[in-house]
Structure 1
Amino acid sequence: MDGDPPEEPCDVDPPAGAASRKRASLPIDTDTEATEQYSAPSDGDSDDGFHVYLGQKAKRRLLTASSRSSTSTVKLLLKHPVHTILFVPKAKTDNLRMLNKQAVSAFLEATVPGEVEDVRINSRRNILVIDVEHLRALEVLRKITSLQDIKVRAHDTPYGDTTVGVIYDVDASIRDKDLPILIKPAHEGVVMRQVSRIGASNCLKIVFKGDSLPAHVKVGHFRQPVRTYVPKPLQCHKSMKIGHVAAVCGSATVCPKCAGPHKASDCSEGTLKCANCEGPHDA
């Protein structure tokens, strides 16, 4: 049996190749996934004082796993069904941001105990949105006519995944309550959630269940093509700007006819000028 080889003197440099191989084999990269360093406190012999220090890749691996777990939890929470109702002020000058949020919360809890999951205000549209757990709570909330000193009107939102389409050339003399009787799906499996007229026009807005529009619906016995509904942009009737309503506007009054700093009723200009694009038309 061979004996152990004699140790080389400390002052003898190893061959360059060997040194290179030795350096390559050492785990000196702190980003190495398998690198885990342990340190213990200098005093005390208990294992409770040990701390684990992980390399950068190991840390990223733990963060990624935590993020995925959080995402899964969020997705599970989002699958919990909620039912939503909207409140808008009857007077265009009333601003829902003026509501006392704590007082509104207490009022809603007293009205539908344990049902409210979330309340939020869309400042640009001046809308109060309430999410509740059960449909029966919506029946109670629909009866609300005022929040503190602000008179409000309740609106339901389409239930579930929906798509909105529009049809044209429907007789304006037909009463709104008769529209659901007149308008029917052209094919089996198509579910219509809501049918309503757009203003006083001949156009109808139809809310369908699902994420796609049918090609046609039946108006009486006639097939009518369905087009994608494109809503008008939200416009302020005070500043004529796009994206908010007058009740929450902090800008000066602008004339919709000539873009001057006055109301339309006080306008004496004969030339139209848009306040947004400066084109020869009203805003």
Structure 2
Amino acid sequence: MDPDSDGGPTPDEQKSKKRKLPDTRKGNAVDYKIFAKTNYTRQFPENHSVDCVVYVESQENEKIGNKNPITLTKLFTENVKGIAGVHRVNAYKVGIMFRKPAPANNFLTMTHFLGKHKLKAFVPAHLTEITGVIRYVPKDLSNEDINKSITCDAEVISVKRFMRKVDGKLTPLGTIAVTFAATALPQHAYIQMFRYPVHIYIPPLLQCYKCLKFNHSAKVCRGSQMCSSCSGQHSYKECDVEKIVCINCQGGH
């Protein structure tokens, strides 16, 4: 120790004490990342009581919905058991209908047949899943913590914490969205033995920022790029037209 020292910490010791320690508190971005069940495959449950519809798309973005319907029906009925009907969903999708869950789920595993014809099959989420809202959930619980402790009559597929941006930073809210493997919303769910009512989830209106139509995102959009300012076929970043025209109602907004 320096003989002239009064016994307090040296300047080097003071700097050492000022070093920031790792933040081990809850609230990191990873805590609020959507937690989804691993190795989950969407299938029809054995007690599914209505028709089971499997959607089929082309692996090469081909418009199979516009193909000859007789040819399509023959292709599926001659190679797949248990089919009750085939119908067009849209230009890129057809629906294969089964009366029972077992043949529908078996069709999903026919990788050789699907690969040979460059097709992919999947169960649409709205037929086997439902999302509910739970309020007043402690903010210090991560989505993973909630998933580990939540219990209810239906299987939990994913947990999402609602967030709000405050002063440029995402802040967690006390409301979560829970997706269940069910067609009817459970009345209650338990988190660490505390009972929470489950409310209906009303999703926000989804608009595509590419074609500007509704109910899909730009990530999966197959439409043309449209301008949100003048409704022309170009990006709004390239627009030099002064007159504003709404692409949906042709109004001046």
**Higher RCO (Cα < 8 Å, 6 or more apart):** 2
TM-score (norm 2): 0.50
Greater radius of gyration (CA): 1
TM-score (norm 1): 0.46
